[in-house]
Structures are given as structure tokens and as C-alpha cells.
């Protein structure tokens, strides 16, 4: 046998569903209109009191409160649906107004402050309209979600700014492979990262956030910039790309020599040019061996030079050094000379392997250059002798 509470629940829930279904646009209709002046509460209590008038008052009061709680649970889904709709509309409004503000020429930080405050105010007003006094519900979780969405919009903007400022510049600097490459990379990295963080902090001041929340976002931006730098460095340190750049560098050195006056005058020993080409190629290898995040000096280039360069093109000053006195630091798995803050891109054994491959592939180029120089020297000498012979013939004819 059903209790009065069980009999009433069915009819009350059906009535609430009918009311809600009759609304043309439930998500945009103020729920407060259904609950103002406690109309539903009074109706429920009236019907309930008729059914249970003969029960003890304490029991009636307890069951009445239970019934009202159940009624509010039915409405809760509708309440969440409406707030979700309000949240979605506010997100769209924020993005639209932000873009419009930027199009009008306002700076990004100023636009964030203006648009976020306006949209949050509208959202709060909408939540007040939806508030149900009897429920004790609030829209805090939706408001936090809205602020989180706005912050995500800002984070995406500053990540894009960091990528645009760092990626191409770092790639270009690593390709140039100058001696100050990593100092220049650090300048670009630190300057643009700090600029983005400073702007983000100014924009985040528009929200009532704890310092720990802002610091977490800032740390995320730093990690993003650092990961971006690592990604670009690893791309440049790809074995195939490094080998190609070393070959291109050597070709450039030989081409410059062939186009210079030294080539025509045979004033420079070709072995010196070869050593210069190999030295510049080795510098590429040393630069891409590790990411230098700080200014601590390292001995990677010196280690590579003494271990690899002098093995291929001996340095005259080292010719009397006993080979057994020279240890092989490339037999190690890590660079012992680098700072703890550095990140290894190419291990010593990787560098040695790349270098030996490079030496094999560059041999035809060196042979061709030497052959052309020998040929050019021979032709030049023949030309000189021919000119002398022709001159002598002309003088002989004059005497005749």
C-alpha cells in the first residue's frame, strides 16, 4: 500500500514536467519564474497536508521536507541545462567581443580586461535570474568553468605568440652555426618567453585568481617555450640534416676558394683549405651536440676537434704526440664537460659515427677539387710557356 508521499510524488513530478515541456525555450526561460513567491512549494504543501492531515505533526513535517527535496531534484537537471546554455552563450559572446575589440585597434591586454569583465557581469546577472531560493544551488562551478575557458583562450594566444617568435628564429640561428649560436638562441628564447609571460600576467589580472593559479599558468608557458626550443633543436640535430649541412658547408668553402684569386695564383695549399672546410663542418657538429641553456662554457668542440679532426688531417703541432698518450673521450656515452642544465642532442658516439660518414662522403668532393686544381695549374703553366714561346717567335721574326 502506497504512503501519501508516494501517491503525491507521481502527480507532482508529472505536473512539473508538463510545465517545463510547455515552455517554448526552456534554456532561456528564467527558472525563478516557476519558483517565485514559493508558488510550487505552497501548492505541494497544500496537497500534502490534505493527504496526511491525520498523521503526527512531526512525521508530517519530516515527510514534507523530503517531498520538497525530491521536487527540487527533478528541477535540478533543468537548472543545469539552463546554466550550461548561459555558459555557452557567454563563451561565444566573449570570443566575438574580443575579436571586435582587437579589430577596433585595442591592445590585447586591454581587450581582455574589457571583454572579460563585461561577459562575467552578464553571466552573473543571468545566474541571479536562474537562482532558486529554496534549493541553495549556486552557479560557481559554471563561473569557474567560464573563467577557465577565457584563460585557455589567452594561453592559446600566448603559445602562438611564443611559437611565432621563437621557432623560425631559432631554426635560422642553428642553421647559421656561428660560434655565438647558443648565446643568440638564449637571447631570443628568454626575451620572447618573458615578454609573453609579462603580457599574460597583466591580462590575468582581469580575473580574481590566486597567485598560485597564475604561477601555474606561467610555469606552463615556460615549459611550452622550453619544449618548443627542444623540438626545434632536435629537428636540426637529425643525423640526415646535420650530414647535409656539413656537406653544404664544405662545398661552400671549396667553392669560395675556387672563385678567389688564390685559386688562380695557386698561393694557398689545398690541404689548408680542406682543413678549413672540415673545421667549419665540425663546428656544426659541436653546436648541435647539446642544447646550452646557460652560459656555462663546455669543451665539446675541443674534444671533437682533437678526437676527430686531427685523426683525419693531422695538426703539425701534434705530430710528435704519442698516440697511446691520447685517450678517446668519444668512447663515453655522455658529454662530461657540459652543464647539468644542458640537454644532449648527439652523444659522443653519434658524433663520431656522423663524422666518419661525412669523411667518406666528402672524399669525392675533395678529390674533384684537387684534380681541378692540378688541371688548372697545368693549363696555366702551358699557357705561360705558350705565351713565352709566341713572344720569342715574334722577336725572332723581327730580327729576320
pLDDT in tens, 106-165: 999 999 999 999 999 998 888 776 555 545 566 788 899 999 999 999 999 999 999 999
**Domain stop point among 186, 213, 236:** 236
Are 128 and 25 in the same domain? yes
Which among 176, 185, 169, 163 has a CA at the least distance from the CA of 295?
185
> Residue 399 has what pLDDT?
46
| 262 CB-near residues (< 8 Å, 6+ apart) | 268
**Partners of 343 in beta bridges:** 291
Q: What is the pLDDT of residues 126-138, one digit of tens each?
A: 877 655 554 556 6
In degrees and rounded to multiples of 5, residue 209 shows phi and psi of -110, 150
Residue 40 inside a domain? The answer is: yes
- Pick from 140-154, 331-345, 381-395: least confident: 381-395
Are 206 and 282 in the same domain? no
For the cut 80, the answer to whether the pLDDT of residue 246 exceeds it is: yes
Are 251 and 359 in the same domain? yes
Q: Which three cell numbers stand for residue 270?
A: 689545398
- Could you list the residue range(s) of the whole structural domain that residue 166 is in? 149-236
For the cut 90, the answer to whether the pLDDT of residue 294 exceeds it is: no
Q: What is the pLDDT of residues 24-51, one digit of tens each?
A: 554 455 544 544 434 555 555 555 555 5
Measure the CA–CA gap between 35 and 46, rounded to whole angstroms.
Answer: 16
> Residue 167 has what pLDDT?
93
**Domain stop point among 138, 164, 187:** 138
| DSSP letter (8 states) at residue 344 | E
pTM: 0.73
Residue 96 inside a domain? The answer is: yes
CA 67 to chain centre: 55
Measure the CA–CA gap between 136 and 151, rounded to whole angstroms.
Answer: 28
Q: Cell match 546554466: residue?
A: 83
Residue 399 inside a domain? The answer is: no
Are 99 and 8 in the same domain? yes
> Residue 55 has what pLDDT?
55
Q: Measuring CA to CA, how many Å separate 80 from each of 32, 87, 279?
A: 13, 10, 69
Are 202 and 185 in the same domain? yes
Measure the CA–CA gap between 273 and 277, rounded to whole angstroms.
Answer: 6
Residue 137's SS3 state is coil
Are 63 and 119 in the same domain? yes
- Is the separation of the CB atoms in 90 and 124 below 8 Å? no
Measure the CA–CA gap between 215 and 313, rounded to whole angstroms.
Answer: 54
**Domain stop point among 138, 160, 183:** 138
Are 270 and 195 in the same domain? no
Residue 171 inside a domain? The answer is: yes
Q: Which three cell numbers stand for residue 277?
A: 672546410
Residue 250 inside a domain? The answer is: yes
Are 122 and 49 in the same domain? yes
Q: What is the pLDDT of residues 194-222, one digit of tens each?
A: 999 999 999 999 998 899 999 999 999 99
Residue 400 inside a domain? The answer is: no
Residue 143 inside a domain? The answer is: no
Are 243 and 271 in the same domain? yes
Residue 283 inside a domain? The answer is: yes
For the cut 90, the answer to whether the pLDDT of residue 103 exceeds it is: yes
Which among 130, 136, 132, 149 has a CA at the least distance from the CA of 27?
130
Q: At how many degrees (to 10) do helices 140-176 and 211-236 cross?
A: 30
Number of domains into which the chain is organized: 3
Measure the CA–CA gap between 309 and 349, rounded to whole angstroms.
Answer: 15
- Pick from 12-21, 94-103, 104-113, 227-236: least confident: 12-21
Are 211 and 157 in the same domain? yes
Residue 328's SS3 state is coil
CA angle (340, 343, 347) in 5-degree steps: 105
> Residue 32 has what pLDDT?
47
Q: Measuring CA to CA, how many Å separate 63 from each of 59, 135, 136?
A: 6, 17, 19
Are 296 and 222 in the same domain? no
Are 103 and 156 in the same domain? no
Helices (H), the chain: 4-22, 32-35, 39-51, 57-103, 108-130, 140-176, 181-204, 211-236, 239-258, 261-265, 270-287, 300-304, 310-312, 348-399
- Is the separation of the CB atoms in 204 and 154 below 8 Å? yes
Amino acid at each position: 500500500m502506497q504512503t501519501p508521499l508516494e501517491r503525491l510524488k507521481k502527480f507532482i513530478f508529472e505536473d512539473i514536467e508538463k510545465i517545463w515541456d510547455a515552455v517554448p525555450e526552456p534554456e532561456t526561460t528564467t527558472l525563478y519564474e516557476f519558483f517565485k513567491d514559493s508558488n510550487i512549494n505552497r501548492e505541494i504543501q497544500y496537497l500534502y497536508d490534505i493527504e496526511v492531515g491525520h498523521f503526527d505533526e512531526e512525521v508530517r513535517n519530516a515527510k514534507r521536507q523530503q517531498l520538497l527535496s525530491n521536487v527540487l531534484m527533478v528541477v535540478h537537471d533543468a537548472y543545469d541545462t539552463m546554466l550550461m546554455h548561459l555558459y555557452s552563450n557567454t563563451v561565444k559572446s566573449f570570443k566575438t567581443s574580443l575579436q571586435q575589440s582587437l579589430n577596433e585597434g585595442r591592445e590585447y591586454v586591454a581587450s581582455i580586461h574589457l571583454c572579460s569583465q563585461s561577459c562575467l557581469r552578464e553571466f552573473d546577472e543571468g545566474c541571479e535570474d536562474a537562482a532558486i531560493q529554496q534549493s541553495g544551488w549556486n552557479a560557481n562551478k559554471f563561473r569557474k568553468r567560464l573563467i577557465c575557458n577565457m584563460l585557455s583562450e589567452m594561453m592559446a594566444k600566448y603559445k602562438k605568440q611564443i611559437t611565432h617568435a621563437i621557432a623560425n628564429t631559432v631554426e635560422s640561428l642553428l642553421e647559421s652555426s656561428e660560434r655565438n649560436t647558443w648565446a643568440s638562441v638564449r637571447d631570443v628564447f628568454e626575451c620572447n618567453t618573458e615578454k609573453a609571460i609579462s603580457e599574460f600576467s597583466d591580462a590575468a589580472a582581469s580575473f580574481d585568481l590566486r597567485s598560485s593559479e597564475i604561477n601555474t599558468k606561467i610555469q606552463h608557458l615556460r615549459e611550452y617555450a622550453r619544449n618548443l626550443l627542444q623540438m626545434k633543436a632536435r629537428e636540426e640535430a637529425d643525423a640526415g640534416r646535420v650530414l647535409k649541412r656539413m656537406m653544404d658547408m664544405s662545398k661552400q668553402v671549396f667553392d669560395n676558394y675556387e672563385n678567389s684569386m688564390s685559386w688562380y695564383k695557386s698561393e694557398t695549399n689545398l690541404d689548408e683549405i680542406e682543413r678549413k672546410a672540415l673545421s667549419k663542418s665540425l663546428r656544426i657538429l659541436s653546436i648541435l651536440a647539446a642544447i646550452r641553456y646557460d652560459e656555462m662554457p663546455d669543451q665539446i668542440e675541443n674534444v671533437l676537434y682533437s678526437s676527430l679532426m686531427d685523426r683525419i688531417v693531422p695538426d703539425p703541432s701534434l705530430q710528435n704526440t704519442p698516440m697511446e698518450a691520447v685517450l678517446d673521450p668519444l668512447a663515453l656515452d655522455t658529454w662530461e664537460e657540459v652543464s647539468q642544465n644542458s640537454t644532449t642532442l648527439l652523444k659522443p658516439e653519434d658524433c663520431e659515427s656522423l663524422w666518419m660518414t661525412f669523411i667518406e662522403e666528402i672524399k669525392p668532393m675533395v678529390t674533384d677539387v684537387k684534380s681541378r686544381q692540378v688541371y688548372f695549374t697545368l693549363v696555366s703553366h702551358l699557357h705561360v710557356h705558350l705565351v713565352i714561346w709566341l713572344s720569342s717567335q715574334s722577336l725572332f721574326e723581327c730580327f729576320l
